[in-house]
Structure 1
Amino acid sequence: MKFGVVVFPGSNCDRDVAYVTQDLLSVATRMVWHEETDISDLDVVVIPGGFSYGDYLRCGAIARFSPVMSKVVEHAEQGKLVLGICNGFQILTEIGLLPGALVRNENLHFICDRVSLQVERTNLPWTQAYQHHQIVNFPIAHGEGRYYADAETLAQLEANGQVVFRYHGTNPNGSLNNIAGICNAKGNVLGMMPHPERAADDILGGTDGLDLFEGVLAATANAQAKRHYVGVRSHLA
């Protein structure tokens, strides 16, 4: 099992993610510079928060052209796991791995706060450690975090169960349908504005985010065990 954390000029949450995966969970983790073109050694790719390329033009608009991103698309198309957090979510919509867009917050102000989220799905690698409709608390820090999509796309997201997290109680940025995080149709690509990596250590005020990473580890371990079992059965046959 190996995580890769993509690093762009302007990333500022890459080390936070690596602290969780490498230091707290003792999982092999590699920092992936945005100019790299070989990520075949990775099981999970994380696109972290920050201000890639200074958020010039619009958030994620330049990062989408980094050489590594075409490989991230291939990684996702192979069914491997991809997680985009905050700026990473914005980048995933820019490259088309997730539908919709993240636009300016409704009040046009940068928001740095903690929010309550409701877990909408628990049958994904990302969320299997949570309970259905469990309320969790994560930090947010963004100026362009308002999720927007046309009516048809929203309807498809809801019908397909692709809304993974919703803001609970208070919607901080005006996101449509209170959307805080979505996945692709296969469920292997997740984008979310709140920061689970900043809620993974008691010293930071809570560990609700740690379950997301532990869920991925458990799902991967189960998948590997299943492949091994099938391989053994095939050999014996």
Structure 2
Amino acid sequence: MNFAVLVFPGSNCDVDMYKAVLDTIEQSVEYVWHLETDLSKYDAILVPGGFSYGDYLRPGAVASLSPVMEQVKIAAEEGKLVLGVCNGFQILTEAGLLPGALRRNQRLKFHCDTIDLTVENNQTPFTLEYQEGETIRIPIAHGDGNYYCDQETLEQLEQNNQIVFRYKGTNPNGSISEIAGVINERGNVLGLMPHPERAVHKWLGTDDGKRMFSSILSYWRQQHGTA
């Protein structure tokens, strides 16, 4: 399986994402600069966290207009897997690949911690190896993680089971309905604020993020008859 880790000016979690793929599932992975105009060789595209373009205008806004994002849209339309984490989640919403928007944290402060999440939907390509309702611990590090959508969109997300993760116990940023991660209606584009790539070894404090990467590989193998 071939993974692409997109790199924008200001990305700072690209190395973490790259190493997470190698350390957890040992698949082919490459950095892809934001000016790239061909992603056809990749089976999954990872959009990492950081501060793309210094968060000018608003986080993810400028990066969403980069040439590579047109190719991400094409890949998503083809059914390829796209995962956006933190700033990557912001980029995917700005690009229209996911519903809603990410606003400033409710308390207007950067929040860095390891928190509890509830797995709301384990029937996605990204969560096959989790249990529905399971509590997992994943790090967060963001100042603009307050997920918002209007009431109609929220109802659609609920009805379509598109809310994949919710904050449990503590809502660190004021996200509506405690939403930490959502998926598109087709089920192949996931965005979440917490960082699974920072949770792949027990010595990091938790390895609960490891199963997200192994779920992606398991799904791909099922689709290609190599499971």
TM-score class normalised by the smaller sequence: over 0.9
Supply the distance in 2 between the matched residues of 1:3 and 1:202 (Cα, whole angstroms).
24
Query: In structure 1, what residue type is equivalent to 2:33?
Result: W
Superposition pairs of residues 156-235 of structure 1, within 5 angstroms: 156-225=156-225
Superposition pairs of residues 96-175 of structure 1, within 5 angstroms: 96-175=96-175
Query: In structure 2, what residue type is equivalent to 1:81?
Result: L
Supply the distance in 2 between the matched residues of 1:58 and 1:192 (Cα, whole angstroms).
17
Structure 1 residue 65, shift from structure 2 partner: 0.9
Query: In structure 2, what residue type is equivalent to 1:12?
Result: N
Query: In structure 2, what residue type is equivalent to 1:69?
Result: M
Structure 2 stretches of 5 or more lacking a match?
none
The residue aligned with 2:35 is: 35
Contact residue 118 and residue 133 of structure 2 kept, 8 A? yes
The residue aligned with 1:44 is: 44
Query: In structure 1, what residue type is equivalent to 2:63?
Result: A
Structure 1 residue 4, shift from structure 2 partner: 0.3
Supply the distance in 2 between the matched residues of 1:23 and 1:175 (Cα, whole angstroms).
31
Percent of residue pairs identical:
56
Question: 1:225 is paired with a residue of what secondary structure?
Answer: coil
Structure 1 residue 26, shift from structure 2 partner: 1.1
Supply the distance in 1 between the matched residues of 2:135 and 2:175 (Cα, whole angstroms).
18
Supply the distance in 2 between the matched residues of 1:219 and 1:144 (Cα, whole angstroms).
31
Contact residue 102 and residue 145 of structure 2 kept, 8 A? yes
Superposition pairs of residues 55-134 of structure 1, within 5 angstroms: 55-134=55-134
Contact residue 25 and residue 217 of structure 2 kept, 8 A? no
Contact residue 24 and residue 213 of structure 2 kept, 8 A? no
Structure 1 residue 20, shift from structure 2 partner: 1.0
Contact residue 162 and residue 185 of structure 2 kept, 8 A? yes
The residue aligned with 1:234 is: none
Structure 1 residue 24, shift from structure 2 partner: 3.5
The residue aligned with 2:13 is: 13
Structure 1 residue runs of 4 or more that deviate by more than 6 Å after TM superposition: none
What number of residue pairs does the alignment pair up? 227
The structure with the larger Rg is 1
Structure 1 residue 23, shift from structure 2 partner: 3.5
Structure 1 residue 22, shift from structure 2 partner: 1.9
Supply the distance in 1 between the matched residues of 2:25 and 2:126 (Cα, whole angstroms).
15
Structure 1 stretches of 5 or more lacking a match?
229-237
Length-normalised TM-score, structure 1: 0.94
Question: 2:105 is paired with a residue of what secondary structure?
Answer: coil
Question: 2:224 is paired with a residue of what secondary structure?
Answer: helix
The residue aligned with 1:232 is: none
How well do the aligned residues superpose, as a CA RMSD in angstroms? 1.1
Larger helix share, 1 or 2: 1
Structure 1 residue 202, shift from structure 2 partner: 1.8
Contact residue 24 and residue 210 of structure 2 kept, 8 A? no
